[in-house]
Structure 1
Amino acid sequence: MSRPTLVKPPASLPHHSRIEDVLQLLPLTDVGPDIFTNARPLWHPPGARGIFGGAAIAQCLSAAQFTIPAQEYTVHSMHCYFVLAGNSEIPILYHVERVRDGRSFITRTVQARQRGRCIFTTTISFMRTGSGGERTVDHATRMPSAEECPPPPTGSETDQDKIYGDDQSPFESVRCAVKSGSKLEPQDKVLRQWIRARGRISDCPPNVREDEILRGQRLNQPGDNHQAHLSALAYMSDSYFVGTVARVHNLMRFANKRNIERTLKSFTGSDEEKQAMREYLERIAEEEAAENEGVQPDDRRIDMMVSLDHSIFFHNPRAFRADEWMLTEMQSPWAGDGRGLVVQRIWARDGTLIATCTQEGCVRLMQEKEIKL
């Protein structure tokens, strides 16, 4: 009988944030070296073909980080491919291969497998801190001004109404208004949102044994847990990513109630879970309707929209906290032949450029003749 984890999920540690619980891995030393598995079931977004892609990205990064000297090396890039849709009802095994350990760079590949089949693969490169030397070439794209994107909520009850993400979600976001009614071409539109992990990510390094934590040893050591912030950023980097292609073309997926009912028809969960899904989809529908107010409706319908590959370039991997507001900016320079490309930049609240991400996805419209992936 299938189950979402190999072992019963461990109890949440009192100092862990929601996203740390979501991304927790367990080493499978009895199975083999450098093999890990998800400690908890993974989220399957409503209407998606499989698990949330950000979970596979982040957990592969976490698995690779277990195999490097954490204080000496930090990730600077990862290049990923989504091979098959992940099944949220089946455990995932993460196999790490130690490709190279150099003096300045370390390379790892990670495969995520279910029932022996690869569903996701990535190559990750780590760089020794400070190995670039004292004299460097420096420049960075500037963060948009407050006129282009208002600051995130400050904490008042009114401001909190603008935040998306309930207590069960590991992160929350605030979308900036999009002037979709303008005459901008799809490739010229820019979509922005503020995003952060919910709660506070602990200062305890992720690879410390739980018995040490429970005895109060090595708890809350400042600066030890930058890896958790990097994994959290990797998780959130997949939020509304390939969907940018649909948004810049004003293609609405759930504003049509028939699409919501069509999605719910295939749902197999409990009545309570189904109602939660309905509310989630209706919330997305409200967002789509507000974003496309005053725009001539587009009668084209999306048949398939899935991620194919995902890359992250970490520019300042130790200069941010993923549980503080970060600004993301997304733009699609090209779409065609049933695919679309999106580029994303992420800044810390102080304007530091944290990362640049790219994603290509399969974006297919309803056709008279069925096309299979």
Structure 2
Amino acid sequence: MTDAKRLPWLRLMALKQTDKDVYESVHRAWPSSGGNRAFGGHVYAQSAIAASKTVEDGLVIHNITGHFILGGSVLAPFVYHVRRIGDGRSFSWRTVEVFQGSQPSARPCFVATISFKRYEESKSWIPLEHQAETFEDFTKTYSSILDRTKPEETPLAPGADAPWWYNANNDAWRVTNDMFPGVDIRKVDMSGHNETSRHPTRHPAAGRRQLCFYRLIVDAESRELLNKTTSEILNLHAAAHLYASDRNSLFLIPRAHGLADRIAVLASLSHTVIFHGDPARLKMLDEQGNPIWFVQEAWTSNSGAGRGCHESRLWNYKSGRVVASTIQDGMVRIPRDPGRVPKYYQQAETALQSVSNPSPKL
């Protein structure tokens, strides 16, 4: 996909090295939910890219856990400090601490632990491979939706998947949302599925599902480079999956409980992604360099004590392979008194009205 208005993936994730194993972002993150707060998927994905610059050729990310400690800002660059934990024959491990502005003397805003692996094809070992659900199962489960849904005709994902976003009448913020950079993400209308697929013995929230299609945004300059299958390029593709997996994820939890209009606090605490199988499957372009559609199948498995768990599978919508599994722990607070909610919405709408069209450059 090429869109002159939307920053392509390679430019969005650009880093400059400022010291040994220290990197700084070049382009600002997208403003999440209005105001100057940065989209968490930006620092999550870019930390993986920074770490990948310190490992040997042939190593591709297969596992990452990130902890969100402080909210990030779009007004300052992210600074990534990579620590080399260990290097083996097949694996390498890195941690990344991320700071903003003058923060290096303070605590980081984000910390990640990342593992890289060399792809193995050995005559000595039996190649085990399976996935719990086949693509036939997937398409059958969602046939009532997928039979009438084309990814490219699906609406763009909202800036925030909450009623106050849909009710907001702010042209500037909608323009900003339509410029969501790097990855084209589209939210599927699940109303025809969620209301008819409830399990007789499970909590209604556990049965709710959300599908989101996504594909890479590329331009002519980056298309040829991103169509290679070197480990360096595959790590860039892996990071794009990380980026997409974090979009609007936690909003599913209050929505599954029928309380999307009463959110007071919603924030990521940790996010883990495990990539499966041959790392070449992470590639998001076909042989001609055209973006391939992937689809995130998401649900909430548990909630309690002010937190909620979001899980998902990332499917290649062309091959039917599950390329990754995700699990995210988030803070979710819903006030008992509905009277407390309008104040939060008023603050959110004030933030929306302060948004202008942000420059991608810092």
Shift of 1:191: 1.7
Give the structure 1 partner of residue 188 of structure 2: 175
TM-score by length of 2: 0.72
Q: Aligned pair count?
A: 287
Give the structure 2 partner of residue 290 of structure 1: none
Q: Determine if the alignment matches structure 1 residue 358 to structure 2 residue 319.
A: no
Alignment partner of 1:242: what SS?
helix
- Counterparts of 2:331 and 2:36 in 1: how far apart (Å)? 12
Q: Determine if the alignment matches structure 1 residue 82 to structure 2 residue 68.
A: yes
The answer on whether the counterparts of 1:314 and 1:355 sit within 8 Å (CA) in structure 2 is yes
Give the structure 2 partner of residue 261 of structure 1: none
Q: Per-residue CA shift, 1:166-222, capped at 9, x if unaligned? A: 3553323141423343455101222222211234663427xxxxxxxxxxxxxx756
Alignment partner of 1:89: what SS?
coil
Q: Determine if the alignment matches structure 1 residue 202 to structure 2 residue 229.
A: no
Q: Per-residue CA shift, 1:327-360, capped at 9, x if unaligned? A: 1111111101110001110011211110000001
Alignment partner of 2:252: what SS?
helix
Give the structure 1 partner of residue 245 of structure 2: 237
Relative to structure 1, the CA distance from residue 49 to residue 357 in structure 2 (aligned partners, 3 Å threshold; closer, same or farther) is farther
- Counterparts of 1:134 and 1:335 in 2: how far apart (Å)? 40
Give the structure 1 partner of residue 129 of structure 2: 138
Shift of 1:134: 4.3
Give the structure 2 partner of residue 23 of structure 1: 13
Q: Which runs of 5+ in 1 are unaligned?
A: 1-13, 206-219, 254-300
Relative to structure 1, the CA distance from residue 48 to residue 303 in structure 2 (aligned partners, 3 Å threshold; closer, same or farther) is farther
Shift of 1:83: 0.7
Letter in 2 for 1:172: I
TM-score by length of 1: 0.70
Q: Determine if the alignment matches structure 1 residue 153 to structure 2 residue 143.
A: no
| Aligned partner (choices 51, 56, 67) of residue 38 of structure 2 | 51
Give the structure 2 partner of residue 228 of structure 1: 236
Relative to structure 1, the CA distance from residue 228 to residue 17 in structure 2 (aligned partners, 3 Å threshold; closer, same or farther) is farther
Higher helix share: 2
Give the structure 2 partner of residue 305 of structure 1: 266
Alignment partner of 1:244: what SS?
helix
Shift of 1:27: 0.8
Shift of 1:320: 3.6
Give the structure 1 partner of residue 109 of structure 2: 119
Q: Which runs of 5+ in 2 are unaligned?
A: 158-176, 285-290, 341-362
- Higher RCO (CA < 8 A, seq sep 6+): 2
Give the structure 2 partner of residue 331 of structure 1: 299
The answer on whether the counterparts of 1:25 and 1:39 sit within 8 Å (CA) in structure 2 is yes
The answer on whether the counterparts of 1:172 and 1:198 sit within 8 Å (CA) in structure 2 is no
Q: Per-residue CA shift, 1:271-304, capped at 9, x if unaligned? A: xxxxxxxxxxxxxxxxxxxxxxxxxxxxxx1110
Shift of 1:250: 2.1
Any runs of at least 4 consecutive aligned residues in structure 1 with deviations exceeding 6 A, and if so which? none
The answer on whether the counterparts of 2:64 and 2:113 sit within 8 Å (CA) in structure 1 is yes
